[in-house]
């Protein structure tokens, strides 16, 4: 009945070929979101070398705040400059650049409109001991800086978790009302959690699920190990023979735990390591149906040309061009 | 004097036969509530197979958040998908579906208007130790998602109870002002309470009463044991020979403790168990005058067809069709 | 990939058979609305004898306010009682009952949850001359009374139109944010418009289009005549040979003008007339693809039994049972 | 001193080549705007076939509201459907699509993120006489619908101008604080202005200047005639021999009057006319240094294929490919 | 009674020569700030003997609050009078005067417009043990007192850091919206930090970086020692051979850590010491590319004439006149 059904598609004569079906399907999963928020998720998915594929590579740079500047940037001193990261994210064809308030402010005008931004809205530092963060930005900041999303860290096992989840609930509600998307960094940490447990597949899957329940549009977790941590969970995983042997299987289980793939999940690799390990990670994420990588130190702690080459290869893996 | 007194009732020629006298009597108990809140309580009571009977079966799914996704859903992997639960609640003829923010958001559009929703508005997780929850949703969320009620957990024996009751007081006040009903999950837990005490009839009845005092429209408690926990209470129960031997008697006592039956009370059965135990519970609730079951794991941890058959039989029990 | 794809549909054993595909298709046209607002539109479409068909019959009673009580109710004195209209709407199987604040308040508790309500949120009276209305209710009133929608009158040709459209823009924005739908009564009136022009097909279609542009979910217009009023429009209608000869053709053109059928449009018939004319109107609306009738005086100015019989027959027409 | 100075530019291996120097220079003119607003202006300039050139073609469709649906769409009935215009703007490679609230809402989800949107935030209609508009949308609407800008009409010569300019001042201040750009439609109309005066070069230049003074980022005016209207202005134009003979000269004078080219100005052509006139207009705008066309009726009142071909040729003119 | 009565007026050594290129380059680093905030930063940089050089000497007097009045002022009793410090800052050609609310209020009228003011907006005292401060002024105070900036202390290693950073985030967001600049005093203190660690170069650089990330326009840190404190950082500093041997090298590293010199950093010298040490500090700051000194006790705990002479010499060092 609708007139548009009769419309003949004309081959586009211009670069901007429009949102792909893959991306449209992903957007349809965000059922309760207004078009403004969907437009920002769309922007994240329609930018860079992976535009339109449903895969993402995000450059996050909050290590200066979290670990200190020398420890983060001395190995590649160009990286002391906030502009360096904006430029790296753009030139490498990343989907987005994520950073705390000050770093975004320091380049927001030069790079206005050049790449989707994620304002990391809570922060901690290495001089304190608490597994906690506090709010260091606002939704209003995200709007005035032209950001597509806010980013927020939760520590599901921490004694501060209940407070953290209350904070992100309020911030995310406000963000959604003005068309800003929410990215949750979910890290397993806390008194009941062993060092090994921080990467345990049951805990990582649980952390991803909690982020989804808190209303995240995009979830960031670490790549899980095959360790099982919570006794009650371990029992079920073994009884039900949930496949968690390979990294790809574990990624698949995390996706399943994130509303059966209805939420975007990107994986981080942690500390700097050799290139082959980075590619292996990306391959496992690709095979397991994950949505991509959020990769910081492994980028900016390498010389720019090396980082660009590495990101190019990672994106090729997500494009299925990895032979 | 009123003109309607003279109105002759005409047999309805349409399906929607209107609110039953049973439901009208229940609504009359909510004396201070505005018509908007009553309309939502009415919706909860006029939906599904038990519509109009004053009985309810509610499907609650917050175990992914509270216990972890693998532990909750691995046994029936379809249940990883938030749509699965919406559909199960609708197809089985439940009165309502209750879940945390993220899970509701993930199906809110597909199932808009299809079944009354209860937004579980505070949450905790199994990686932390505190008997506490924090707020993970808002009354505004309930409105934008089209929910009929908010759900909130209290732990009457916990060191966090005073904070919890302050939170629900504020949230419930706000909810009532915009026509949203309040459901309180009342679980006995805390340093002074033994494992056995968590199910003790005096404690469960006390927990139901507190929920009523906090302004709940609907109260959820566990089915109580015949244990008596608080020494001061034990003395009175024994002196006054309060009948608590059978499950039906205990249900009756909980109803009595909930403003003499002026508040709706539904009972949960806990971990997955054999079908016969589930039916026995329902029979006791029915005989004791309880308002029904809130039944999660026993539904979604069974294959869909089994769950549907089981829910059908439970509802038959509440319809008095159990021969 | 999603689990629900594998779910086998089971024949429902309960009355509440769920939202029909017809209604789901209509809801999908409200692209920018949150699930709460869609749930309320769904309620309007899933109630009464026409539930699930996409057709509606709405009982509006604001004539006491607009024309005076004697002029409106003396012919059928039972209609002085606000309860009368609630009961008539319920017993006849209407989709909704619409009235100003006071009349709704007077029965809101008795009929809480019994039928979807539309709060007529601006009003005028016959003692003044201005083609104007002013705001006599609020979105907060709609929430506390349990209404599914607000109703608002605009006079597109009036010198007060600019003020009216500014008011409904603000009220509708607020309503949408809390899940309340918007119904716009669009009446052509004003200094540039002749008496004949008030029903002219070009003007009525224009009025429906404006209501759609102002964000209405449901539009109420009068059934148009084949008169053409605005010279610039007349020219185009004649040149393009827009078919407007039959009432069904004119209804079809109004639907087309309402975003090509993407908005619900109901038609009013005006003053009391003989039954056959009322049925003829309904047939034309049905044939032209309109969504139904909003029919006040022709209902409550007849004896109850007559009105019930007439509404029953009108609904049969919308069910295609009119032989 | 800054590290980025040393950064070697690497040839981009991905489509998203980034903001051009031309666009960066334009953005630098918006000195007081926050990065969020600049990002939205950037989006408008970096979309479609003209992306990066500093030229724009915008599709505006508010004629249904302003002139009536039949008069606007009967000639090309597909255009009754709001989706038609979204699709036309995307397929033709326009920079943006502008429409009132209802029309944007009707496609906002289907086309989320697909093209920059301008929410026309005040409206009038042809049934009233006043040269006035009233507010029919909000900045909050723009955010929830994912719009890059609000659009607002002023009538500099109208008795309502003072009220209109007060409204846009407030709306634009709010918009700028949340990163939304402002487009002002400036039409010369009013009791002191003759029909000829509405297009007079002195008046159009004056109207563009007022829009700039009111804080517009983008200004829309009609293509001016060589008529001179205000006696005081006429004297100066003649004394100073301001060149206004050719259309290109007049466009140049309008640009000069818009803060010496520091504000983007697009020109509208008015009623449907033959293709050659449309191209001639575009050539004059191009030669005179204007920023492009805002072209509604000449697009959607032609069959889709014709409109696409015409827009393609217009864009070629702005690309300097017009031989 | 007032100390200023005895003050001899000194002829101004500077003329109001307009904003220099050096200052313009610095202002350009504040990319996301509105012109109002930039104008206040400009005022700070275009005042006093160092006007236009990009170097600053600021007089801060919060020691009465932080250490007690006797301990602070007994050595130079004129300094008990708040006017004394205003006058000293003006007469010495300082760029700004910084103090808590009460001290600014006590001279704000007499010296209105005479010198840029920084309202120290949080405070602590020596009678308590917590490494914490609380808010003792507002952005509204800063506006009504005519201040150019607010000043705020953070303790990055303290258990109160998370709360402090949340406070300054909110205050700074508000300040930026009304054109007030933000100065952050960043002091390393806390349970994990040894006495030696408080001045360690890795910690001081980290503290400066955090202040930058929190959105500070101007950062105040102590001059660092060559100690390395955090084991993870120490490792990197030694591996990467970051030069930290001389004070100038350490200043340079702090500048690098402050967004590669994109943020203004001033250094404090701590307790009163001999003049030569003060000059040595200034020379190191100058050589290392720091932006100047914030020097309190070493000024007001010396007789006025001595202080004026010393400040004059320090400024000569920053002017490169130090032979």
| Distance separating the N- and C-terminal Cα atoms of chain D | 47
Q: Is A106 on the interface with D (CB under 8 A)?
A: no
> In chain A, what residues touch B76 (CB-CB under 8 Å)?
none
pTM score, whole prediction? 0.93
pLDDT at position D3, please?
A: 35
Predicted local distance difference test score (pLDDT) of residue B11? 39
Q: Please give the pLDDT value at position C14.
A: 47
- What is the model's pLDDT at position C271? 72
User: How are beta strands B122-123 and B134-135 bridged, if at all?
Assistant: antiparallel
Confidence label for B323 from pLDDT (cuts 50, 70 and 90): low
* Cα A65 to Cα A75, A81, B8, B290, D267, distances in angstroms: 16, 14, 76, 56, 49
Supply φ then ψ for residue E271, to 5 degrees.
Answer: -60, 160
Would you state the pLDDT for residue B269?
A: 77
Q: Taking CA atoms, what residue in E is nearest to A102? A: E213
Asked if D2 and E260 come within 8 Å (Cβ–Cβ), the reply is: yes
CB pair distance less than 8 Å for A34 and C31? no
Q: Determine the Cα–Cα distance for residues B100 and B145; give it in Å rounded to an integer.
A: 12
pLDDT given at position C129: 81
**Cβ <8 Å between D125 and C242:** no
Q: Are D77 and C257 in contact (CB under 8 A)?
A: no
- Chain A residues in contact with E182 by the CB 8 A cut-off are none
Beta-bridge partners for C154: C186
Predicted pLDDT of residue A165: 97
Q: What share of chain C is helix, strand, coil (3-state, %, to 5)?
A: 45, 15, 40
Checking if the pLDDT of B134 tops 90, the result is yes
Residue A6 confidence (pLDDT) above 50: no
Nearest CA in chain D to C260: D81
- Residue A230 contacts D, CB cutoff 8 Å: no
Nearest to E31 among A106, A134, A137 (CB): A106
- The verdict on a CB contact (< 8 Å) between C1 and A31 is no
- Tell me whether A204 touches chain B (CB under 8 Å): no
Q: DSSP letters along A278-297, please? A: HHHHHHHHHHTT--EEE-SH
Section C40-68 average pLDDT = 95
Asked if residue B120 has pLDDT above 70, the reply is yes
- Per residue in D260-280, pLDDT (tens digit) is 999 999 999 767 789 999 999
Q: Which E positions 167-196 lie with beta carbon below 8 A of chain D?
A: 177
The answer to whether A112 contacts D13, with C-beta atoms less than 8 Å apart, is no
Give the number of other Cβ atoms within 10 Å of residue D16's Cβ. 18
Average pLDDT over chain B reads: 93
Per-residue pLDDT of chain D (323 residues; tens, 9 = 90+): 333 333 333 334 444 458 999 999 999 999 999 999 999 999 999 999 999 999 999 999 999 999 999 999 999 999 999 999 999 999 999 999 999 999 999 999 999 999 999 999 999 999 998 889 999 999 999 999 999 999 999 999 999 999 999 999 999 999 999 999 999 999 999 998 999 999 999 999 999 999 999 999 999 999 999 999 999 999 999 999 999 999 999 999 999 999 999 999 999 976 778 999 999 999 999 999 999 999 999 999 999 999 999 999 999 999 999 75
The model's confidence at residue C17, banded by pLDDT at 50, 70 and 90, is low
Q: What are phi and psi of B186, to 5 degrees?
A: -115, 105
A with E: touching (≥3 Cβ pairs within 8 Å): yes
Question: Could you tell me which chain C residue has the CA closest to the CA of B39?
Answer: C113
D32/E34 touch (CB, cutoff 8 Å), yes or no: yes
Dihedral-angle region of residue E18 (phi above 0 means left; psi in -120 to 50 means alpha; beta otherwise): left
Find chain B residues with C-beta within 8 A of C38's C-beta: 109, 112-113, 146
- Residue length, chain B? 323
* Of residues B16, B35, B305, nearest to C93 (C-beta): B16
Question: What are the tens digits of pLDDT across the range D19-63?
Answer: 999 999 999 999 999 999 999 999 999 999 999 999 999 999 999
Establish if A96 touches chain B: CB-CB under 8 angstroms: no
Q: How do B96-100 and C218-222 pair as beta strands?
A: unpaired
In this complex, whether C and E touch, counting 3 or more CB pairs under 8 angstroms, is: no
Searching chain B, which residue's CA lies closest to the CA of residue C3? B78
How confident is the model over B183-209, as pLDDT tens digits?
999 999 999 899 999 999 999 999 999
Min Cα distance D51 → chain A (Å) is 8
pLDDT confidence of residue C323: 58
Q: Is the pLDDT of residue A196 over 90?
A: yes
Scanning E7-46 for CB atoms below 8 A from A yields 29-33
Minimum-distance CB partner of C169 among D64, D70, D136: D136
**Are residues D8 and A304, on separate chains, in Cβ contact within 8 Å?**
yes
pLDDT for residue D267? 98
DSSP assignment of D103-167 equals HHHTTTTTTTTTS-EEEE-EE--TTS--S--EE---HHHHHHTT-SEEEEEE-TTSTTHHHHHHH
Mean pLDDT of the A192-212 span: 96
- pLDDT reading at B4 higher than 70: no
Determine the residue among E28, E29, E32 to mutate to test chain A binding: the one whose Cβ has the most chain A Cβ atoms within 10 Å: E32
Q: CA D238, D242, D244, D246 torsion: positive or negative?
A: positive
Q: Residue A193 is encoded by which pair of tokens?
A: 């959690």
Is residue D60 within a helix (H) or strand (E), and if so which, with residue range?
strand D56-60
Q: Exposed, middle or buried: residue A267 (CB in 10 Å: 0-12, 13-18, 19+)?
A: buried
Q: Do C146 and B16 lie within an 8 Å CB cutoff?
A: no
C296 interfacial to chain B (CB closer than 8 Å):
no
Interchain pair B136, A232: CB under 8 A: no
Q: Residue A155: pLDDT band by 50, 70, 90 thresholds?
A: very high
How many angstroms separate the CA of residue B68 from the nearest CA in chain A?
A: 5
Q: Do C and D touch (≥3 CB pairs < 8 Å)?
A: yes
Chain E residue closest in CA terms to A125: E156
Say what the pLDDT of residue E323 is.
57
Contact C256, C294 (CB under 8 A): no
Question: Could you say which of D71, D126, D134 has the minimum Cβ distance to residue C166?
Answer: D134
The structure tokens 């640009």 sit at D255
User: What is the model's pLDDT at position B188?
Assistant: 96
Task: Over range C44-64, report the average pLDDT.
Answer: 96
Rounded to whole angstroms, the Cα distance separating E179 from E176 reads 5
- Give residue B13's pLDDT: 44
Q: Which of residues 129-168 of D touch A (CB under 8 A)?
A: 140, 143-147
DSSP-assigned letters across all residues of E80-106: GSHHHHHHHHHHTT-SEEEEEHHHHHT
Contact D81 A145 (CB under 8 A): no
- Which pLDDT band holds residue A16 (cuts at 50, 70, 90)? very low
Task: Kindly determine whether residue E34 and residue D34, on different chains, have CB atoms separated by under 8 Å.
Answer: yes
Number of H helices, E strands in chain D: 14, 10
pLDDT of residue A2: 38
- CB-based contact D3 E260, cutoff 8 Å: yes
Would you say residue B5 has pLDDT above 70?
Answer: no
pLDDT over 60 at A254, yes or no: yes
Q: Which chain C residue lies closest to D83 (C-alpha atoms)?
A: C259
Give the tokens for residue E244: 């930290």
Say whether residue D1 is in contact with chain E using an 8 A CB cutoff: yes
d(CA E117, CA E145): 8
Spans of chain E, pLDDT less than 70: 1-17, 270, 323
Q: What SS3 state is found at D249? A: helix
pLDDT band per the 50, 70, 90 thresholds, residue A301: very high
Which residue in E has a C-alpha nearest to residue A74's C-alpha?
Answer: E240
Which pLDDT value is given to residue B68? 94
Q: Which residues in chain C are contacts of D136 at CB distance < 8 A?
A: 165-166, 169, 213-214
Query: Does C3 lie at the interface with A, CB-CB under 8 angstroms?
Result: yes
Q: Kindly tell me the burial class for residue E9, based on how many C-beta atoms sit within 10 Å of its own C-beta (0-12, 13-18, 19 or more).
A: exposed
> Using CB atoms, which residue from B14, B46, B47 is nearest to C49?
B14
Quick: pLDDT tens for C282-307: 999 999 999 999 999 999 999 999 99
pLDDT value of position E13? 52
Q: Percent of chain C beyond pLDDT 90?
A: 86
Q: Say whether B2 and C34 touch across the interface (CB within 8 A).
A: no
Backbone angles phi, psi at D56, to 5 degrees: -140, 145
């Amino acid at each position: 009945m609708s007139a548009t059904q009769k419309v003949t598609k004309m081959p586009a004569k211009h670069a901007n070929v429009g949102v792909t079906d893959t991306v449209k399907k992903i957007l349809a999963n965000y059922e309760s979101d207004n078009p403004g928020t969907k437009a920002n998720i769309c922007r994240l998915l329609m930018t860079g070398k992976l535009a339109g594929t449903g895969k993402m590579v995000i450059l996050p740079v909050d290590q200066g705040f979290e670990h200190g500047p020398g420890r983060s940037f001395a190995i590649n001193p160009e990286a002391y400059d906030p502009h360096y990261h904006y430029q790296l994210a753009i030139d490498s064809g990343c989907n987005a650049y994520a950073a705390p308030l000050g770093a975004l402010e320091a380049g927001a005008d030069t790079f206005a409109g050049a790449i989707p931004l994620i304002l990391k809205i809570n922060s901690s530092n290495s001089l304190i001991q608490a597994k906690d963060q506090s709010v260091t930005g606002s939704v209003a900041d995200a709007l005035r800086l032209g950001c597509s999303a806010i980013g927020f860290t939760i520590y599901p096992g921490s004694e501060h978790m209940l407070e953290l989840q209350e904070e992100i609930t309020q911030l995310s509600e406000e963000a959604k009302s003005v068309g800003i998307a929410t990215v949750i960094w979910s890290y397993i940490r806390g008194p009941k959690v062993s060092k090994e447990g921080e990467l345990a597949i049951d805990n990582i899957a649980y952390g991803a699920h909690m982020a989804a329940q808190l209303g995240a549009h995009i979830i960031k977790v670490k790549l899980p190990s095959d360790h099982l941590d919570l006794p009650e969970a371990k029992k079920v995983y073994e009884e039900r023979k949930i496949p968690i042997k390979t990294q790809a299987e574990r990624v698949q289980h995390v996706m399943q735990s994130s509303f059966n793939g209805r939420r975007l999940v990107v994986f981080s690799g942690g500390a700097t390591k050799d290139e082959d390990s980075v590619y292996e990670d990306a391959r496992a994420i690709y095979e397991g149906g994950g949505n991509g990588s959020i990769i910081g130190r492994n980028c900016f702690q390498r010389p720019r040309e090396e980082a660009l080459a590495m990101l190019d290869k990672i994106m090729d893996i997500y494009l299925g061009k990895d032979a």
